[in-house]
Structure 1
């Protein structure tokens, strides 16, 4: 039982701490509200749990054999984060009533972000190494289930925080400032990948 509590503590700490997926959830909650942002939340959660399962069942061994794949993931992640940062920075801050010109949060983008997120890779490898080094299938599945709950709740909290902040961001200049702060944070996440 104590190993499950340790798994839950690890999953919560890794999931709720700031990172690219959580910053996008915060921004999405601010722009679209909690309901639509839950698409991103679910995608990010499922994407991470699939990554965690693949890691637990041997993907980390493949990456050790072919380190070029790790570099490709890192550079792809940097490019994706910089693209998202540019989209946020370029936003004019006007609230789009019909939503026709704005990209809605999506399940697939949330899932892809996790696979391009170095924080997710580190959490998956470190978590599996710490709790399931034996490779026991039942422990891998238990860890994945615990992580699903912790990740969903954590990312949803960030989306809720963004929806809550929206109450205070009613004019375009405040929205632009918020979006540019989020863009700087995402750019910082992207630049930090140079040291992984």
Structure 2
């Protein structure tokens, strides 16, 4: 049972700490509210779990054999984060939303995980730490634990954003908040190359 507590602690430390996925969840919660933001949360969680399971079954070996793929992931991640930052910075701050397509989607949540080197590091490190021998049963148990912890962690960020919404009930405040979130995403993009 002790290994499962360690798995949960690792998942919590990796999931709750600030990163691009959390920033988008926070911003979505502030902009659109909690329940609409849960699509992003679910997509990001499922995207990460798929990455985690694939890492457990040997994707990290592919990256070791094809090291240029790490740079492809970094550049793709940086480009996607800059795109998300651009969308936030351009937002007019109006809280009445008529276009649901502007909300972060499940697919965007999954994509941001796959282009996030922090997610890759967490997946590879977690599997190396807890499932080094490739035991399929442990891979799936770790994935199940990580799913719950990751989902709840990301939901917390969306909830905090929803809480902040009451203080951002005017276009000027929302524009300022969105621009701060955009700057944080730009910072996350720049940090991808410090890894």
- Quickly name the TM-score band, shorter chain normalised: over 0.9
Which residue pairs with 2:167 in the alignment? Answer: 168
Distance (Å, rounded) in 2 between the aligned partners of 1:49 and 1:165: 29
Aligned length: 195
Q: Give the C-alpha shift of residue 112 in structure 1.
A: 0.6
Alignment RMSD: 1.0
Deviation at residue 105 of structure 1 after TM alignment: 2.0
User: What per-residue deviation string (whole Å, max 9, x for no partner) do you get for residues 8-37 of structure 1?
Assistant: 000011101100000000000111111111
Aligned mates of 1:68, 1:96 — CA distance in 2: 44
Query: How far off is 1:5 after superposition?
Result: 0.5
Long gaps (5+) in structure 2: none
Q: Deviations over 1:135-160 (max 9, x none)?
A: 11111111000000000000000001
State the match for 1:143 in structure 2: 142
What TM-score, normalized to structure 2? 0.97
Question: Take 2:97 and 2:54, find their aligned partners in 1: how far apart are those partners?
Answer: 41
Structure 1 distance, partners of 2:107, 2:15, is 19
Partners of 1:170 and 1:90 lie apart in 2 by: 18
**Secondary structure of 1:96's match?**
coil
Mapped to 2, the partners of 1:97 and 1:35 lie a distance apart of: 14
Q: Where does structure 1 differ by over 6 angstroms across 4 or more consecutive aligned residues?
A: none
Task: Output aligned runs, 1:50-129, within 5 Å.
Answer: 50-99=50-99, 103-129=102-128
* TM norm structure 1: 0.97
Runs (5+) with no aligned partner, structure 1: none
